[in-house]
Amino acid sequence: MGMDEALDLRGLKCPLPAMLARKKLAQLPPATALTVMADDPMAVVDIPHMCHGEGHAVESVASRDGYNEFRIRKI
């Protein structure tokens, strides 16, 4: 089982959450799970789109109290 990482991007506006999530994923070893928290409404479009383009797997998107939580697996 790989390590899990978390990235709190709440308070940041598009396109920063997707850009910073991509930068963080680039630093992680393959198979690492990254949990990203973001409250920008565009993040629900931008983060999965970035993951698709980069080849990472979006395992889940959960709506929390005032923000969304993305679980991404680095491929």
Q: Which of 5, 7, 12, 14 is catalytic?
A: 14
14 is catalytic: yes
Is the dihedral angle over the CA atoms 71, 73, 46, 19 positive or is it negative? Answer: positive
**In this structure, what is the dihedral angle of CA atoms 48, 51, 57, 63, given to the nearest 10 degrees?**
-30
The residues annotated as belonging to the active site are 14
